[in-house]
Structure 1
């Protein structure tokens, strides 16, 4: 059984092959989706962190911890594709790694957003942070579906007789 892995960046525009940075990735649909995920999670974290009289309740601390953790992880993936590091580390199945990361991240951010919305106590910045958390969950869900299509469509199976 042979397996062929397709990189999420295979459909992007070609940039200078010898250059260190792949700026064409940022103009592709996948790149813009990742950039928007990073920005949405950053805005969600800032909304909760800058709330007046920032409430030190456990749901807000959980929300901030989860959103910031996945913000940095998504930023790492974005920079990895911009600087073409995924091509240098071929021992890692990046599609599977991202699929698992996005699956866990979408679930945890959804839980954090529900908790943040439930305990917002009328603070508009906390409600807005939860809305951006829900938006980040939706964007991560789109990426999960796209990664699932890549991983399931790239596997070739042959029946041995």
Structure 2
């Protein structure tokens, strides 16, 4: 979340050259931040026990997959349109860092939810 927030702040604090590329970057980072916060609150308040009609591990896995793909595209576009402005270069670097962290989260989410449940081992 911190790397997404830093990337968003870097884009907001710079004068834009290409409006549409950085609007897309802003939208993707803010949407990912909001969804990560929503899943965090669901786990914090244990709402997954109340709302049993939703498969929370599957929805979290799909969110991270889609969010990671969109963030990778936004980071590539931001890096190609940065024109050596330090704020935009920093935003694209933090976008790539956030992409890597989201990819790690996808792997951990898959490993915890799918592999652990399929083996059926209980300690």
TM-score over 0.5 for the pair? yes
Offset at 1:75? 0.9
Unaligned 5+ runs, structure 2 = none
* Aligned with 1:82 (options 44, 57, 74): 44
Q: Deviations over 1:63-91 (max 9, x none)?
A: 11111111111111112111221222122
Q: For residue 6 of structure 2, what is the aligned residue in structure 1?
A: 43
1:140 pairs with 63, 78, 102, which one? 102
Aligned residue pair count: 119
Cα RMSD, aligned residues only = 1.5
Q: CA-to-partner distance for each residue in 1:118-143, whole Å, 9 max, x for gaps?
A: 10011111111111111111111111
Question: Cα offset for 1:156?
Answer: 5.4
Taking the TM superposition and a 5 Å limit, the aligned residue runs for 1:75-154 are: 75-150=37-112, 151-154=114-117
CA deviations on 1:47-76 (whole Å, 9 max, x unpaired) are 10111x234521111111111111111111
**Matches of 1:155 and 1:116 in 2, distance apart?**
40
Q: Which residue of the other structure, out of 28, 35, 46, is the alignment partner of 1:73?
A: 35
Q: State TM-score, norm by structure 2.
A: 0.89
SS of 1:98's partner is: helix
Structure with larger Rg: 1
Counterpart-to-counterpart distance in 2, 1:121 and 1:92: 44
For the pair 1:155 / 2:121, whether they are aligned, the reply is no
Large movers: runs of 4+ above 6 Å: none
Structure 1 counterpart SS, 2:48: helix
